[in-house]
């Protein structure tokens, strides 16, 4: 939580600095021009540990799933379309097929985001930009597995986790505005190994991943 608190403090300082400048362009001044959308592909890692937070549940250490992502970004305040503070949300929908069945991760983050350069507002056409954010993500993990006795079982867990965001954005002549976004959950969430056991084993669920997206 210390990491999230520090990033929120930085975002608040940036917000007050931008708001104090009062030098806003007309481009992103109306509510219709403050909203931007992106979509792309994502690759997520989900470390799952036993209650000691050290011993991995799966031999691979972390579950890895591919998926698709969409996100929305609403500019709260900006300075000359070059730097901004935004409210952002989105969705990661991952899927994994195996001989044990279908697995998925549904991730719904909500976070504050500070940006400078490209993507600061929908009207910024600088070649490169950076972003930093913090917030929380609601998650649903479904993962089939074989238990200690060789019987098929599954993790079916809803959980909430703090998350931090970092991104790099750029403009390409061929593909327009693109970006890479990285996220990390600094605290592992509590969950249970079995969705059917009478006395399920407590586990801890982490998360980090990367997304490549196109903004439109």
Is the pLDDT score of 158 beyond 80?
yes
42 conformational bin, left if phi > 0, alpha if psi -120 to 50, beta if neither: beta
d(CA 46, CA 154): 15
d(CA 55, CA 59): 10
CATH number of the domain located at residue range(s) 2-215 in this protein: 2.40.160.20
Q: In which residue are the tokens 């730097």 written?
A: 83
Burial category of 63 from C-beta neighbours within 10 Å (exposed 0-12, middle 13-18, buried 19 and up): buried
Q: What is the pLDDT of residues 122-143, one digit of tens each?
A: 888 889 999 999 999 999 999 9
Looking at residue 123, its pLDDT comes to 85
Q: What is the pLDDT of residues 164-202, one digit of tens each?
A: 999 999 988 776 789 999 999 999 999 998 877 778 899
Is the pLDDT score of 22 beyond 50?
no
Q: What is the pLDDT of residues 27-79, one digit of tens each?
A: 555 455 688 899 999 999 999 999 999 999 988 888 889 999 999 999 999 98
């Amino acid at each position: 939580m210390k990491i999230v608190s520090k990033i929120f403090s930085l975002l608040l300082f940036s917000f007050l600095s931008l708001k104090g400048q009062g030098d806003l362009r007309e481009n992103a001044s109306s509510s219709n021009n403050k909203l931007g959308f992106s979509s792309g592909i994502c690759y997520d890692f989900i470390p799952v540990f036993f209650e000691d937070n050290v011993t991995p549940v799966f031999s691979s250490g972390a579950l890895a799933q591919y998926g698709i992502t969409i996100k929305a970004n609403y500019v709260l305040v900006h300075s000359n379309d070059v730097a901004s503070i935004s409210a952002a949300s989105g969705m990661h929908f991952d899927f994994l097929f195996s001989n044990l069945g279908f697995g998925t991760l549904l991730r719904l983050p909500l976070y504050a985001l500070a940006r400078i350069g490209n993507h600061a507002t929908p009207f910024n056409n600088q070649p490169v930009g950076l972003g930093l954010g913090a917030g929380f993500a609601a998650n649903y993990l479904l993962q089939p597995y074989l238990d200690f006795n060789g019987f098929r079982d599954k993790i079916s867990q809803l959980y909430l986790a703090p998350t931090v965001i970092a991104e790099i954005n750029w403009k390409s002549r061929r593909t327009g505005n693109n970006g890479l976004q990285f996220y990390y959950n600094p605290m592992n969430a509590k969950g249970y190994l079995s969705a059917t056991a009478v006395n399920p084993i407590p586990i801890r669920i982490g998360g980090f991943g990367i997304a490549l997206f196109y903004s439109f």
